[in-house]
Amino acid sequence: MGAHTPLTRRPFRFAPHRRPASVFASVLLVLILVGCSGGSAAPDATTATSADGGEVADGSGVTLTVSAAADLALALDELGPLFTKETGVTLLVNLGSSGQLAQQIEQGAPVDVFFSANRRYVDELVEKGIVGPGDTALYGVGRITLWTRGDSEVRVEALSDLTDPGVKRIAIANPDHAPYGRAAREALQSAGLWDALQPKIVMAENVLQALQFADSGNADVAFVARSLSVQGEGRWTLVPAELHRPIEQTLAVIGRSAHAEWGRRFADFVNGPSGRPILDSYGFVLPDASTRD
């Protein structure tokens, strides 16, 4: 394939010591979001001004470790710096599949806030006493898309197009631990195509890696999240929501966190007037919004 335009319109800050996602297995992508604007340092006063003009405690020197489903990669690339600018708190974000991240939290990983791509993994952490029942919230409903490179000769506008001989490799996140992969499998099963397409399917660790498989040419098409599709240069089409269970994306503040109050503040920020427009711009159906196309 020839040269093509970059996948995203804004820089995506992978930490330089990490391997590219196209070659990692279970290693998490790590991204540090720095919220300085125009070269200014984080606030050093005892209070800072919030987006609505109120005063909030200054979080300079505080680092929140956030484990997040990979479909949030680009949204967090915007949300993180805004939160840092408002509070002084730095975010260290681990991206991966929700199931693997939940397992790491259960095993004691030092995580403050967990953003899961579905409710199930958060509910399980509540049942095990790792998360308090009052420290969870739905932050959006996700949608899956069929994504191809902008310069690809492959045209996929419906699930039935995946049976075309020109489609040789189809990337999906592993449905055993990735909610978007599970939704992709359910959609293909509902359409009666799962078994027939098995020889073409290439498993990725998470939805971001599935996208990178297609973007690099290692797959012809990928099932990805709308949140990773809307800001890119590829071609994509929505998979009908009725073909799979709702992708109820749910966050949780981890009970053992040493920065639980800041974790709750970040959760409120994401679900508040500053965060909701950003989530909406990436195609998430907001919790109290009506279902849309």
pLDDT at 289: 54
pLDDT for 123 equals: 97
The confidence score (pLDDT) of residue 288 equals 76
Question: 245: pLDDT confidence band, cut at 50, 70 and 90?
Answer: very high
pLDDT band for 254, please (50, 70, 90 cuts).
very high
Q: Among 53-57, 145-149, 234-238, 243-247, where is mean pLDDT lowest?
A: 53-57
Which tops the pLDDT comparison, 151 or 27? 151
Computed over every residue of the chain, the mean pLDDT equals 83
* Token couple for 248: 């109820």
**Is the Cα dihedral 208, 210, 215, 221 positive or negative?**
negative
Q: What count of other Cβ atoms lies within 10 Å of the Cβ of residue 151?
A: 14
Backbone φ and ψ for 115, nearest 5 degrees, come out as -110, 105
Give me the mean pLDDT over the 195-212 stretch.
Answer: 97
Residues 6+ apart with CB under 8 A from 78: 10, 278
**Does residue 241 carry a pLDDT above 70?**
yes
pLDDT at res. 92:
96
Helical (H) or strand (E) element with 38: none
Note the pLDDT tens digit of each residue in 170-190: 999 999 999 999 999 999 999
Mean pLDDT, residues 125-135 taken together: 96
Mean pLDDT of 111-134: 97
The closest alpha carbon to 140, from 240, 60, 68, 218, belongs to 68
**Amino acid letter, 195:** D
What share of the chain in percent tops pLDDT 90?
Answer: 75
Q: Lowest-pLDDT range, 14-23, 262-271, 275-284? A: 14-23
Q: Over 80: is that where the pLDDT of 215 sits?
A: yes
- Asked if 110 contacts 176 with a C-beta cutoff of 8 angstroms, the reply is no
Q: Residue for token digits 């890696």?
A: 209
Q: Residue 92: beta bridge partners?
A: 32, 65
Please give the pLDDT value at position 59. Answer: 81
Task: Lowest mean pLDDT of 155-169, 207-221, 277-291, name the range.
Answer: 277-291
- pTM of the complete model: 0.79
Phi, psi (deg, nearest 5) at residue 68: -135, 140
